[in-house]
Chains A and B, each alone.
Chain A
Amino acid sequence: MTTRLSPFLFFLFLFVSQAIILQAQDEEAIMPESNHVCLKCHGHKYYSFFNEYKDLTERKLMNPYFVIDSVSYLQGEHKGHSCTDCHSSDYENYPHIADLKIQPKMTCVDCHDFEVIATEVKKSVHVEAFGEFFHCELCHDPHSNKLVKSDMAELVLYNNNRCLNCHNDADKYQVFTSHENPQLLSTHDWLPNQALHFTRVRCIECHTSVTDTSDAVHHILPKEQAVHNCNECHSENSLLRDKLYKHQLKQDRSEFNFYNSFILNDAYVIGANRNYYVNLISLIIFGCTLFGIIIHVILRIIKRK
C-alpha cells in the first residue's frame, strides 16, 4: 500500500511546492530599477561619493530623516513607484542642486482625490495650530505607508506609531512648536489600565470627532475636547463601533447574541460586550429569587395573623 502511494505523494509534494514558489514569486515586490541609484545613498545611514575637488572618496553621515528603509518601502503602498514619480528628476544628479531643497514638493493630493479627508484635516487641531505647513506626509510617510486591516493588534500599533513619531520624539515635535513635548504617560494617568488601552485602541479613538463619514479619523480634536468619559466606549453604543471596529461591524453584528460581538475577537470591553441570553437568564434568576422571597414574606404575615 505504502509503495503504491509513494509516487503519488512525491508528485503531490512537487505540485504543492511549485505552487507555493509561483505564489511567492507573484507576491514578491519588485523595486523599480531607477530607485537603486537613490537607495545606494538614501538606503543607508552612511554614504560615499567621489569628491572631484579633493580627488578622493568621502564617507559621510546621511541625515537620518532622509534615510529610506527599503524593506518598509517594499511593504508600502507605493512600492511600485520610482523616486522621481514624486521627487524632481533633478535629484538624479549628485551633488543635488541647492534649489531643490526649497522648491515645493509634490503632495499626496497631486495624485489622490482626498477631498473629504482634506476638509476634515483643515478642521483638525494640527492645521489650526500650524496652518498649511501641516501636510499628509507628516503623519503618513509615503515611503512606508500601508493599510493594515487584518490584524487588530498590528493595526493599533501601526496607527499609534504615526502619532508617537512626533508626540514621543522631542526633536520632531519641536520642529512644529516651541512647546515642551507632552509627557504622554502623565497626561494619560487618569486612564485605568493605561498599558492595555495603549495597545488595544488607537489614539484617534479618543482624539478625533465621531461623524458618519469614513474619513472622520482625520479631524484631530484639541486635547480639551478629547474623550474623557469612559462610557463613550464602555457602553452598548460604544463609539468603537464607528471607529476601530467600523469594518468588522459591517461583517458581524450578533455572534452568539453578544452586543458588539465584533470586538470580542480581539478584546473584551466592559459595558460594551453584554450578552442578550446571559442578561435574560440573570434577570430570570434574580426575579425568581425576589418572587420566592416576597411569597414567603406574604405567607409569614398571613400565618402570623
Chain B
Amino acid sequence: MSNNKLYLYPVWLRIWHGINALGIILLGITGLSMQYTNMESPLLKFSSAVSIHNLVGIILMISYFFFFITNIIKNNIKHYRISLNGLVNRLMKQGKYYVFDYLKGNPKPFHISEEEKFNPLQQISYVGAMYILVPIVIITGIALLYPGMIIEKIYSFSGIRLTTFLHSLAGFFILIFLIIHLYVITIGQHPLRNFKSIITGYHEAE
C-alpha cells in the first residue's frame, strides 16, 4: 500500500461538480415543493419555487454543456467509456464489495488510478446520470420553460403530460442517484476522505 496522492479532479471538474451538486439539491427541493405543494403548508412559496427552479435549471443547463464539451476536450470522457467485456462480472464484484467485503475489511476489487478513476458501479451510474438522466431533464425542462413548443398530442397522450412525466421521473432518479452517491463516497478508509478529494483535487491512494 502506498501513500501516493493522485491528482484526479482538475479545477474545471471541481468547479463544475460543485455547481452541479448545489444546483441539483436546489432543483430537487424546488421541484418537490412545486409538485407536492398545498395551501396549508407549502414547502416554498409556489412562485418563488418556480422562479428558483427556472433560474437554477438554466444555470445547470449551461454548466452541463460546459461539462459535456470540456469532458471531450480534456479527454476526461475516457472514464465514461464502458467496456462491455465482463461488465456484469465486474459490477457483481463491486456490488459484493460494498455489501459484504467492505464490511469484512477485505480489499477493494478495483483500485483507483489516473487511467481508471471510477469503479465499474461508479462508471455505469455516472454514465446513466450524466448521459441519460441529465439530458432528459434538460430537454424536457427547456420544453416546459416554453410549453408552446410542446406537441399537443402524441398519439392519444397529451404532449405536455408526457413531457412533465419524463421530467419528474428523470429528476426523481437523479435525486435517488444523489442520495446513493453521497452515501457511497463515505465508504472508504475515512468517511470524509472522498469529500476532501473533490475539494482539493487529490485522491489519497490506499
Contacts and interface: CB of A to CB of B under 8 A. Distances in A.
A13 interface: no
B46 A229 contact: yes
Interface stretch (B5-13, B33-41, B109-117): B33-41
Chain A residues touching B, range: 20 to 34
Nearest to B42: A231
Contacts of B45: 230
Interface in A263-278: 264-268, 270-271, 273-274, 278
B107 to A, nearest CB: 15
A215 interface: no
Interface residues of B, number: 31
A237 B51 contact: no
Given A229-B39, A268-B164, A282-B172, A293 B47 contact: no
Interface string B129-163: 00000000000000000011000000000101100
A235 interface: yes
Contact of B46 (A231, A274, A285): A231
Contacts of A235: 37-39
Interface string A246-268: 00000000000000000011111
A285 B37 contact: no
A217 to B, nearest CB: 21
Contacts of A195: 148
Contacts of B158: 264-266, 268
A104 to B, nearest CB: 46
A120 interface: no
B38 A270 contact: no
A252 B34 CA distance: 24
Contacts of A236: 38
Contacts of B98: 296
Given A231-B46, A293-B179, A196 B148 contact: yes
A20 to B, nearest CB: 27
A300 interface: yes
Interface in B27-72: 34-39, 42, 45-47, 50-51, 54
Contacts of A268: 158, 160-161, 164
A293 B183 contact: yes
Given A195-B148, A196-B148, A230 B46 contact: yes
A46 to B, nearest CB: 40
Contacts of B164: 268, 270, 273
A237 B37 contact: no
B1 interface: no
A299 B46 contact: no
A242 interface: no
A190 B46 CA distance: 12
A289 interface: yes
B72 to A, nearest CB: 32
A216 to B, nearest CB: 19
Interface in A125-156: none
A157 to B, nearest CB: 15
Contacts of B36: 271, 274
Contacts of A7: none
Contacts of A193: 147
A289 B180 contact: yes
A84 B42 CA distance: 57
B185 interface: no
A50 interface: no
B162 to A, nearest CB: 9
Interface string A37-75: 000000000000000000000000000000000000000
B103 interface: yes
Contacts of A190: 47
25 contacts: A192-B47, A193-B147, A229-B39, A229-B46, A230-B37, A231-B37, A232-B39, A234-B37, A235-B39, A237-B39, A264-B161, A266-B158, A268-B160, A268-B161, A268-B164, A271-B35, A271-B36, A271-B38, A274-B35, A282-B172, A285-B172, A289-B180, A293-B183, A300-B103, A303-B105
Given A229-B46, A271-B36, A286-B176, 15 more contacts: A229-B39, A230-B45, A231-B37, A234-B34, A235-B38, A264-B161, A266-B158, A268-B164, A271-B35, A271-B46, A285-B176, A290-B179, A293-B183, A296-B99, A303-B104
Interface of B: 34-39, 42, 45-47, 50-51, 54, 98-99, 103-105, 147-148, 158, 160-161, 164-165, 168, 172, 176, 179-180, 183
